[in-house]
Structure formats: structure tokens, C-alpha cells
């Protein structure tokens, strides 16, 4: 079935919503991971009054984003992957990097650039203190999809 049994009927919830947890608990912990719909490991983050949801494993090499710090780069909030420090915007899942325009200039001038959307972002909804995720089911392949297969769900990568 497409509909989560844990979703109460509510007109303010998107049609396919999966219960993640109580907002209080997510706010307290700052983050929560959950397998959604038996098929996707999702990380829900609470930061500066906002909830965000994204694929749990980093698009680069499957890093455990739930242990990443949240920092601002170029005015955009990012999770920093603990494995190789890739920066991923919370709102769009874009990979940010610093580029050097002219390698001969001194001092080197660096600019923040986007590699485009690399991490799949999901929709979060809060109703009556409960937090729900609606999976982003766009057909367009996103790099983080690679780390959502059975192989990466064994926990081996988190040991
Ligand atoms: Fe995340 Fe490499 S796995 S930066």
C-alpha cells in the first residue's frame, strides 16, 4: 500500500505521508533517521526553526550525514558530510564547492559554486506536533539514489 498506516486522516497532510516522530523529540535531538516506506533511509533535521529531510547517505560515497555539522556557506545552510566534508544545501540538496577562477592570481580568489542537485530532498510536514515525510518520487535520477539500495542498508558502512 502507498499510504502509511501511521498517518492520521488530515486534510493538511500531503496524500502519502509517513510518520517520522514527535516534533519535540526531533527538536531536542536536532536530527532523526528513519527508514520510510520500507525502502528509503531518510534524515530529518531541525535547524533554526525549520525542518528538513533528505536521503541519509551522502551522494559522494555514502557517508553518514546524520553525524554531519550544519554550517552556512555563501549564505546557504548546508550539512557537512563527516566523511570528506562535502557540503550539501539543506533546502535543495545542491552540492557546493569552492572554485578558483584564475589559478595564477595572488591571493587566490575563490567563489562558491553549485554542482546542481546531488542529494534527494524530501518534503516534511508537521501536524499537531507530529512530523511526516513525503518521499520525493521524481523520476529524475539524483546521485544520492545510488546509496539507497539494499547493499548500503546493512549498516556495514556505519560501523
Ligand atoms: Fe560524503 Fe565523501 S561520503 S563527502
Residue 73 lies in a domain: yes
Tell me, yes or no, whether 158 lies in a domain. Answer: no
Centre a 10 Å sphere on the Cβ of residue 82 and count the other Cβ atoms it contains: 15
72 alpha carbon to ligand 1 midpoint, in Å?
18
What cell does 82 get? 563527516
Q: Is residue 54 part of a domain?
A: yes
Residue 91: pLDDT band by 50, 70, 90 thresholds? very high
78 located within any domain: yes
Q: What is the mean pLDDT of the chain?
A: 90
| Mutation test residue for ligand 1: of 84, 146, 147, the one with most atoms within 8 Å of CB | 84
Higher pLDDT, 12 or 99: 99
Confidence of residue 1 (pLDDT cuts 50, 70, 90): very low
ipTM reported for the complex, 2 dp: 0.99
Q: Which pLDDT band, with edges at 50, 70 and 90, does 118 fall under?
A: very high
65 Cα to the center of ligand 1, angstroms: 8
Contact 104, 98 (CB under 8 A): no
Q: Is residue 151, in this structure, part of any structural domain at all?
A: no
CA of 15 to the centre of ligand 1 (A): 33
Between the CA of 115 and the centroid of ligand 1 the distance, in Å, is 14
Return the ligand 1 atom nearest residue 63 CA.
3
Q: Is residue 143 part of a domain?
A: no
Confidence of residue 87 (pLDDT cuts 50, 70, 90): very high
Domain count, the chain: 1
Return the pLDDT at 159: 40
pLDDT over 90 percentage in the chain: 75
Full residue range of the structural domain in which residue 29 is found = 18-137
Residues with CB under 6 A from ligand 1: 58, 60-63, 81, 83-84, 86
Return the CATH number at 42: 2.102.10.10
Which tens digits make up the pLDDT trace of 122-157? 999 999 999 999 999 999 999 999 999 888 876 554
In a domain, 115, yes or no: yes
Is the pLDDT at 3 greater than 50? The verdict is no
Name the residue with the closest Cα to ligand 1, atom 4: 84
Between 2 and 70, residue with greater pLDDT: 70
Domain assignment of residue 144, yes or no = no
Q: Is 62 helix (H, G, I), strand (E, B) or coil?
A: coil
The alpha carbon of residue 132 and the mean position of all alpha carbons in its chain are separated, in whole angstroms, by 14
Amino acid at each position: 500500500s502507498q499510504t502509511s498506516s501511521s498517518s492520521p486522516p488530515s486534510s493538511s497532510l500531503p496524500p502519502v505521508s509517513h510518520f517520522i516522530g514527535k516534533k519535540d523529540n526531533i527538536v531536542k535531538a536536532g536530527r532523526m533517521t528513519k527508514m520510510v516506506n520500507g525502502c528509503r533511509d531518510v534524515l530529518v533535521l531541525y535547524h533554526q526553526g525549520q525542518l528538513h529531510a533528505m536521503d541519509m547517505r551522502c551522494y559522494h560515497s555514502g557517508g553518514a550525514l546524520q553525524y554531519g555539522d550544519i554550517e552556512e556557506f555563501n549564505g546557504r545552510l548546508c550539512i557537512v558530510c563527516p566523511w570528506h566534508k562535502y557540503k550539501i544545501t539543506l533546502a535543495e540538496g545542491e552540492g557546493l564547492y569552492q572554485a578558483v577562477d584564475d589559478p595564477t592570481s595572488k591571493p587566490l580568489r575563490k567563489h562558491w559554486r553549485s554542482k546542481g542537485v546531488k542529494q534527494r530532498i524530501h518534503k516534511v510536514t508537521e501536524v499537531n506536533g507530529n512530523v511526516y515525510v513525503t518521499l520525493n518520487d521524481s523520476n529524475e535520477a539524483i546521485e544520492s539514489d545510488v546509496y539507497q539500495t539494499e547493499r548500503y542498508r546493512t549498516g556495514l558502512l556505519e560501523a
